[in-house]
Each structure stands twice: as C-alpha cells, then as structure tokens.
Amino acid sequence: MKLDVNVLRYLSKDEFRVLTAVEMGMKNHEIVPAELIDRIAGLKTGGAYKNIRTLLRHKLVHHDSTKYDGYRLTNLGYDFLAIKTMVNRGLIVGVGRQIGVGKESDIFEVVAEDGQTLALKLHRLGRTSFRAVKSKRDYLKHRSSFNWLYLSRLAALKEFAFMKALHEHGFPTPKAVDWNRHCVLMTLVPGYPLVQVKELKNPALVFDTVISLIVRLAEHGLIHCDFNEFNLLIDDDEKVTMIDFPQMVSISHRNAESYFDRDVDCIYKFFLKRFNYVPGGNARTLQGIDNNVDEDDTRPDFENLARTAGALDKELAASGFTHQNQEDLDQYIAQHKSDSDGNAASDSDAEASDNSDPGESEIAGKLNNTSLQAEEKQSSSCSEDETTGPKNDHIRLQRFRRREASAVRGGERPDLHLSRNVNKDKGGKRSRQAKARLDCAGL
C-alpha cells in the first residue's frame, strides 16, 4: 500500500486516539472489538464509532467479521502512528520520495527540523508475497498470537541496536538517530547499491575492503547473515557502507559457520561474475562455478576467528533487545529462508493482491464462495420454474390456472400455496382472495 502522508495532516486528535486504541487492543486481540476500542479511547458516547469510519475510509484500520465483528491495524495505520511519534519528538518535519524497496522494508527520504535529509526505514515483514506462507506454515510454532506488525517492530528494534553499536565501534554504517515501532531513522549515506555498479576502478581494493568487513564483524562476535551486493553501498570514491542488520546473529550461534561461509561465498561469486576478479589470481572453489581449481589461501578461516572473537554480541543484550525477542526473530528468519524456495508457487498466488490488506484475500474468497453458491442455487431454481421474462411469466400463469381448475373440478386438495379452507366462504379477507384466485382460473 502506498504511503500517502498528506492524509496525516488532516487527521484529528480524536482519530489518532482511536487509532492508538486499536493498537493497544491488538496486544491481546487479533481482531479488536468495537466496544473495547470505545472503552480504551475514552471518548464521548459514539465518538469512537464516528472516528472509526474515518479511519476505514483512509484504510488505516481494517474491518473483519469472519470470527467476530472487530477491527485491526493495517500497515498504513502503523506507519502513521510511527511517523506521528517522530514528528512529535521533533525529529522530522516532512516525508519525501521513496528511495528504496526491499522484500521486507521500504525506505523514504525525510527532512529534519534543521533541513538535513535523513532516511526512514519502514520494516514490512509479512508482505503479500509471504502471507500465504504464514497461513500454511507455523513460523512461531505454539506462539500463534504473534502478527506481522509485532515481528516488524522486533526487526526495527534489532536493526537500531546493532546499527548504533556498530557505528560506535567504527564500522562503516549509517548513524542510527532514533526508532519507533517498526521505523528506524538514520542518516542518509550517499552512494549506490553494489549490485547496480557495472565497473570498478580498483576491484581488488573494494574486494579486500568488503572481505575485511566480514572478518571484522566476526572478530567482534557477529555475523551479518545477508552480506551480499544488495546490502552494500558504494559511492563515487568507492567507499563501502554496509546496511541491513535485522538478521545478524552471534558467532556462538549453532549455524554461525554456515552463515559465515555463505557471506564469503556471496562476495567471491559476485566479484567473479560481475568484475571477473579472482583474489590472488587463483580461483576459489565455488559451487556451480569451478570445482577443478586450487583453494584460495587468502580465504578467511572461521575457526581461527571464532577462537579470538570479541563480545560485542553480549554487549548488545543491554540495548533493550531481549533474548526472547531474538528467539522470535530467529524462528521467523530461519523458517523463512528454508521455505522461501519451496513456497514460490503459493507466494505467486498472493502477489495479485499486493495492495490489499492482510486478511482481505481470505474474506474475498469466502464472499466469492458464497456468491457462487447463491448463483448455483438460483440456476437450479430457474431450471425448475424456467427463467424469468414476459413470455415465461405467461406460461407459468397458464400452468397455475390449469392446476387450480383441475383441483377444484376433481375435488382434490389444492396446491400448498392455496388456503386449506378455500371452498369455505367465511365472508372475510381470505375468502375474497380465494374467490379472486378462482376467477383468475376462469371458473
């Protein structure tokens, strides 16, 4: 869904109060009842219901009545709450163009009070392409109460904590300014993604710089886990900056070595394919590239790095990102990466409704099934009584007259749609209706 911040200027204080009440209710409810929203908002009688209609019109909340009648926040409503908080803190005064789109995030230019241009990253865990996976896979096992907004909030908290710590330790990363909900505010780094670069002046120097970043991270006890050309920025002076940290893990992780080797292999493969560069002049044995060449002696060794690793991962435990938060994100990231390839077909089915809200596809499916059943029922009734129309109405009237006449002449019981006492003249309204039917039958 497109972020239109113009609507933000026209929302009243009461509407934001109701929107916040929906968010508070979602802590314990998947769908928040309207009565609970009214109690949490604490407005005058009927005030919450009036404001809910405005929020529905702007698609900030979604109405759901599959299980019971209630409302939930949409991604756009969550965006408005976070941006409003940033504005109230005096951090930003305007939102500009979108400068980046990832599979699980959107990045916008924003303007600070002093005129400085910053970057605002909105985490979008659970885009439409992954909703079908969530409905069929149990990412969180027994903890089914989690939703995508909660996971996006955890990803933002983790990225802010890691980005701030890495920048303080001298790593080339954007400077973390602040965070709220699923948004991270950071400095805007000039440059381009490395994947968009077709030619380098000194590929050997850039390669050494990138590999040294992987080694430095490991020496501090961290592994990026998604260190590739998409998460590396390079400027005109070929200065490298690394971004995207929600998936980082400690070097003590049980799969740390495989993650480390995968990061290194991504860099080797990219420089070989894009720039035809091989470190040391000897090709490294890579999967699917060359299996008959010598091993590169300059390749980083994970075991040696693990023995001398620092404890930056332990220092981050005091940043507010708890151990339980890490477990929740690990379950999501591990399952997502292992199942993303096997669920490509189911993901493509959900891509058609990319601009819709979570849950709308299920409701639309049920509505379609209901309409199909109604059409089948209508078609079956039409096959028995013929289709409607002037000609068919005349035919049905003739059949009605013949049935009534045969019932009266033969002394048989009339059809069920006639009164049981049709032959008894009681002088009332029903008697007059019965006589009218007989007159229509020509008797």
pLDDT confidence of residue 6? 86
Tell me the CB-side half-sphere exposure of residue 308, using CA atoms within 13 A: 7
Strand duo 232-234 + 240-242: pairing: antiparallel
- The b/e string for 282-296 (b: 16+ C-beta within 10 A; e otherwise) is ebbbeeeeeeeeeeb
Vertex 182 angle, CA 179 and 183, to 5°: 45
DSSP string, 33-53: -HHHHHHHHT-STTHHHHHHH
Please say whether the beta carbons of 175 and 162 come within 8 A: no
Point out the least confidently predicted range of 6-15, 136-145, 233-242.
Answer: 136-145
**Which is more confidently placed, 410 or 318?**
410
pLDDT confidence of residue 403? 72
Residue 344 has pLDDT above 60, yes or no: no
Lookup: tokens for 203? 């590929």
Q: Name every residue whose Cβ is closer than 8 Å to that of residue 299 and which is 6 or more positions away in sequence.
A: 264, 268, 284
**Which is more confidently placed, 146 or 218?**
218
Q: Name every residue whose Cβ is closer than 8 Å to that of residue 430 and which is 6 or more positions away in sequence.
A: 419, 421
DSSP code for 4: -
In angstroms, how far is the first alpha carbon of the chain from the final one?
Answer: 69
List alpha helices for 277-359, DSSP H: 302-307, 312-315, 323-339, 344-350
**Which is more confidently placed, 282 or 162?**
162
The catalytically annotated residue of 38, 226, 263, 313 is: 226
As a whole number, mean pLDDT of residues 413-439 equals: 53
As a whole number, mean pLDDT of residues 100-106 equals: 85
pLDDT confidence of residue 195? 93
Please say whether the beta carbons of 70 and 32 come within 8 A: yes
* C-alpha span between 414 and 401 (Å, rounded): 11
As a whole number, mean pLDDT of residues 151-155 equals: 88
Lookup: tokens for 266? 């991504």
Q: Mark whether 439 is an active-site residue.
A: no
Length of the chain: 443
pLDDT confidence of residue 120? 95
How many C-beta atoms surround the C-beta of residue 126 within 10 A? 22
Point out the least confidently predicted range of 306-315, 374-383, 434-443.
Answer: 374-383
Please say whether the beta carbons of 70 and 61 come within 8 A: no
**Cross-strand bridge partners of residue 419:** none
Residue 350 has pLDDT above 70, yes or no: no
Q: How far is CA 68 from CA 21, 241, 313, 353, 402, in A?
A: 18, 49, 44, 24, 51
Read off the pLDDT of residues 63-74 as tens digits, 9 standing for 90 and up: 998 888 899 999
As a whole number, mean pLDDT of residues 52-58 equals: 93
Read off the pLDDT of residues 272-295 as tens digits, 9 standing for 90 and up: 999 999 887 644 444 444 443 344
pLDDT confidence of residue 148? 83
Point out the least confidently predicted range of 217-231, 317-331, 336-350, 395-409.
Answer: 336-350
Closest C-alpha to 192, from 230, 226, 227, 235? 235
How many C-beta atoms surround the C-beta of residue 122 within 10 A? 21
* C-alpha span between 118 and 112 (Å, rounded): 7
Q: Where in the chain is the domain with CATH 1.10.10.10?
A: 5-80
List alpha helices for 113-147, DSSP H: 128-136
Question: Averaging pLDDT over each range in 91-95, 244-248, 250-254, 304-308, which range is the top one?
Answer: 91-95
Read off the pLDDT of residues 360-400 as tens digits, 9 standing for 90 and up: 334 334 434 443 344 444 444 443 343 444 456 566 666 76
As a whole number, mean pLDDT of residues 126-154 equals: 58
* C-alpha span between 231 and 210 (Å, rounded): 11
**Cross-strand bridge partners of residue 179:** 184
As a whole number, mean pLDDT of residues 235-263 equals: 90
Place of tokens 């009070």: 113
Element (H, E) at 379: helix 360-385
Sign of CA dihedral 178, 183, 189, 190: negative
CATH number of the 5-80 domain:
1.10.10.10
Alpha-carbon Rg for the chain, nearest whole angstrom, is: 33
Return mean pLDDT, the chain.
75
* C-alpha span between 432 and 415 (Å, rounded): 18
As a whole number, mean pLDDT of residues 217-236 equals: 91
* C-alpha span between 48 and 15 (Å, rounded): 8
* C-alpha span between 155 and 277 (Å, rounded): 35
CA 38 to the chain's CA centroid? 27
Residue 412 has pLDDT above 80, yes or no: no
**Which is more confidently placed, 191 or 138?**
191
pLDDT confidence band for 263 (50 / 70 / 90): very high
pLDDT confidence band for 141 (50 / 70 / 90): very low
Please say whether the beta carbons of 181 and 78 come within 8 A: yes
Point out the least confidently predicted range of 12-21, 27-36, 149-158, 273-282.
Answer: 273-282
pLDDT confidence of residue 329? 63
pLDDT confidence of residue 393? 59
